[in-house]
Structure formats: C-alpha cells, structure tokens
Amino acid sequence: MPNGAAGLLLDESRRTVPLRIMPAELRPSMKGRRVKTWSRSVNPELFAGMAPRGGASLRRVFAVSIAALLGLAAQPAFAEYRIAAGDTVEVTALSIPGFKQEATVGVDGTVMVPLLGDVPAAGLTVAELRKNLQTALPAKAVRQRNSEGRESIAVIEPDEIGVRISKYQPVYLSGDVTKQGEHPFHPGMTVRQAVALAGGYNLLRFRMENPVIESANLRAEYDAVWASIARESANVWRLKAIIAGARPDKAAQASPAGTEAPLNVPPSRATVAQKLAEQQLRVQMSDIGKEKDHLQRALVRAQGQLVSLTEQQAKEKEGVTADADEYDAVRALFQRGAVVTTRLTDARRAVLLSSTRALQTTVQVSQLERDKGELTRRLERVDDQQALEAMEKLQVSEDNLTALRSRLNSVNDKLVYTGALRTQLLSGNRVKASIAVFRPNKTKPSMIDVAEDTELQPGDVVEVVLKPDPALRGIGDGTGQN
C-alpha cells in the first residue's frame, strides 16, 4: 500500500488490525468532514464469515459488535436496578483507548463524565444512562495525539459508548455476626452470602469467653452469690430478732425468711447459715443478759449501801445534835466558872467532829443516789442500745441483700444465654436467626423480614438477631442446669 493512503491492513501474524492516520497533506481536502481514528488489538475470529468489504465497513461492523458485547456485559444481574448515590459508574468509548472514567454518584445524584461534566444518574437504569450519554457524547470532538506526535480529531459514535456499574453501594450488617459494618455488594448476593462474608453468626458478639468454661464460671458465681444471699438473709433475721427482744429459746424455733434454697442448690447451705445465725443470736442475747444481770446486781448493791448510809446519816445527825447540846451545857458552866477551859475545848471539838462525819455521810448518800440513777439508766439502755445498733446493721444488711439479689438475677440471665449456646455447641444444632432488612426508599426506609436465601440490594442494612431454642430457657434459673 502506498505511503499516505488510508486503508485497512490485516496482519495475520500479529493478529491486529491497525488503522493509520491520514497524512497531513491530505487533510485540507477533507476539511469539514468527520474523521474517526481507531486502533485496537482484536481477535480475527470475530471477522470469520464476513465478506471483505471496504475498510470503513469492516471497521463499522467491528465497532458495533464490540459495543454490543460491552453493552451486554454492562447489564446488571437485576436489569431494573436504578442507580443511586454511592454507586460507581464506569463510562468507556471503544474508539478512544484513553477514554475510560470511573466516578461515584454523589449525594446530588450526578456523576462526572469527561467532556460533559456532571450528568444526572441517580434514579436511572444503566440503559437509560447509556442512552443519555449516546445522545450527548457524539456531539463532542476529541483531539488525540499518536505516538508520532501527530494530532487527529475523533468523534465518538453512539454505539461505541459503554456504561456499567463497576462498584455498587455496600451492604451493612449488624447484630449477631462476627464482623459488623459495611461489606461489598455484588449482584445476586443473598443474606446467607452476606453473613458468610461477615464471618458467620456469632452469639458472643460481646467477646465472651468459651461458653463451656464461662458457663461453669457463672455457675460457680451463681452458687457463691446465693450462699451470700442465704448468709445475709440469716443475718437480717438475727438482727430483727434482737430488735424484737427475742430470747434464744424462741430463736431456735424461728426460720430465717428468704433462705429457701433453689431446687438445684443443696439445702444444707441454708441450714448452715441458719444455724450460724441462731448461734450468734444466742451468744449475743446471752451477752446482753449478762450485762443486764451485772447492772441489776450493781443496782441492788447500790440500793443496800444507800439504805445503810441513810441510817448512818440519821445517826450522825443525832450525834451532832447531842454533841451540840453538850457543848451548850459546858459553855454555860464555863461562864459560871464551874469548868475549866480544857473541858469547853473538848466539847467544841466533839461538835466539829460529829458535824464532819454527818456531812461526809450526806455526801456519800448523794453520790450513791447518783450512782444508783446511772445504773438504772444503763440497765434501761442495754436493750435500747442493742436495738439501735441492730437497726443500723439491719439497714446495711438489707442493702447488701438487695444488691446480691440483683447480682444473682444478672448471673442468672448470663447463664441463660451461655448455657443455651453451650448446649447448642455440644449438640451441634444450628441457631435460629431472625433477619430484618432495612431498605432505603424515596420516602422512608422500609423494614422487611427475610430468610437466608433472600437476595439483597445495594445499600440494604441487615440486622441479625439469634434466638436461643425456647426449650433451653430456664437454664440459668436452676431448673435445667446440669
């Protein structure tokens, strides 16, 4: 073929069909005409059965065939799917190798396309978007430069434009799955595939330990908490008995309230707690009795001393009166000169001595009366003081009992789930999952209850909730735990 001629050259050895650019000296004569340049490695088998026609006809048939194949490949598995924000759209043109653009649809529903800018895409199917681009792109001329540095102008034909969704919006999984969050979507994806992509079901989404070991630990904690409840209940009963003034003989007949053992807990634990409480009550009541007896004996002794001192006080008063009368008589004799001064001094000394003894006795009587009053008050306060201390301890014990019961309920609830999972793991049964799909719509999201084989759509939010077998209920409450 002469140099500078435009034509089609089929090279069987290289399996390529190159299209050469028209020389610059021939371009002025074609001014105003559309010139399409194209170079692509193709499989010659595509031309099998085609009669060799002009180069333009063969190129036209080839472009139409490739565009048709790309059009079929661009079809999504669900043809009615409409593009939404977050999808990634790929636009290509066969005649221009460098014309390939991938862009994500923005929140405004547009996608960036070369030569056109932002093009509305949200709400359209792939076919509708391709049709719009086939109308808009052919009106644009593309300037190209070949390897030799020569420029040419190419116009994109409508049948050369390909559009496909290269990446869909992700789907989101939450709930009882191993890996929560967003996961890539592919056409035809089912709930089962999405769950498998998320690592499968996982009842222990709170990162619990091995259910078998955890169940044993919870059972031990459950028994320990119950033992503490039995002990606190017995303590509450003991304190109430002290407040009520119960005697040890009555305490043996009483039964602490709230210490009945569950069916799977040995009753001996409740018996031990009750016996300890009864022994403590006996010791404490015995101590109270001894204290009261001691005070009563002291009070009796004080009363006896008070009687003796009262009698002594009366005698001392009589002695003071007698000594005073004698002193008066001696003084009268002294004034008449019948007695000496020594006798008057002795009489005065006797009066002072008896008065002093009488005063001391009066002081002792007063002190003994005060001691007797204090002993009486202490005797009255023995029961009051014990009741007051018991009330303070009772409040603390009841608070502890309430906290222990709440803790017991918490451990019981944990036993329900860990026991259920343990039984399912040991038996090999599959758990039942309740699956809900929240699908965005134009107005508001809709919730759909689905099965594992239900196909998903881009942007779906899947919520998985595992439900233990109802037959395994009651594992944590002591009715079914082995």
Q: What is the band of 205 on the pLDDT scale with cuts at 50, 70, 90? A: low
Question: How far apart (Å, rounded) are the C-alpha atoms in residues 476 and 301?
Answer: 64
User: Which residues lie closer than 8 Å to 431 by C-beta, 6 or more apart?
Assistant: 201, 203, 421, 424, 466, 467, 468, 469
Asked whether residue 252 falls in the same domain as residue 126, the answer is: no
Q: What is the band of 227 on the pLDDT scale with cuts at 50, 70, 90? A: confident
Asked whether residue 306 falls in the same domain as residue 253, the answer is: yes
Q: What is the band of 204 on the pLDDT scale with cuts at 50, 70, 90? A: low
Question: How far apart (Å, rounded) are the C-alpha atoms in residues 256 and 239?
Answer: 11
Asked whether residue 220 falls in the same domain as residue 305, the answer is: yes
The stretch 307-317 carries a mean pLDDT of: 85
* Residue 44 within a domain: yes
Asked whether residue 260 falls in the same domain as residue 390, the answer is: yes
Q: What is the band of 287 on the pLDDT scale with cuts at 50, 70, 90? A: confident
The stretch 251-258 carries a mean pLDDT of: 44
Phi/psi of residue 227, nearest 5 degrees: -60, -40
Range of the domain at 137: 16-167
Domain count, the chain: 3
Asked whether residue 253 falls in the same domain as residue 392, the answer is: yes
Asked whether residue 134 falls in the same domain as residue 199, the answer is: no
User: Which residues lie closer than 8 Å to 337 by C-beta, 6 or more apart?
Assistant: none
Angle between helix 341-427 and 211-243 (nearest 10): 150
* Residue 242 within a domain: yes
Asked whether residue 116 falls in the same domain as residue 234, the answer is: no
Question: How far apart (Å, rounded) are the C-alpha atoms in residues 41 and 47?
Answer: 13
Q: Which residues of 244-255 are buried (b: 16+ CB within 10 A; e: fewer)?
A: eebebeebeebe
Question: How far apart (Å, rounded) are the C-alpha atoms in residues 130 and 97?
Answer: 18
Q: What is the band of 463 on the pLDDT scale with cuts at 50, 70, 90? A: very high
Asked whether residue 42 falls in the same domain as residue 63, the answer is: yes
* Residue 482 within a domain: no
Q: What is the band of 244 on the pLDDT scale with cuts at 50, 70, 90? A: confident
Asked whether residue 421 falls in the same domain as residue 287, the answer is: yes
Specify the CATH number for the domain of residue 456.
3.10.560.10
Can you give the pLDDT at residue 422? 56
pTM comes to: 0.43
Flag whether pLDDT at 247 surpasses 50: no
Q: Are 200 and 210 in contact (CB under 8 A)?
A: no
* Residue 8 within a domain: no
* Residue 477 within a domain: no
Within the chain, what is the greatest distance between any pair of CA atoms?
190
Asked whether residue 132 falls in the same domain as residue 274, the answer is: no
Flag whether pLDDT at 239 surpasses 80: yes
Asked whether residue 135 falls in the same domain as residue 284, the answer is: no
Question: How far apart (Å, rounded) are the C-alpha atoms in residues 185 and 171?
Answer: 6
* Residue 397 within a domain: yes
The label of the residue with tokens 């065939």 reads: 65
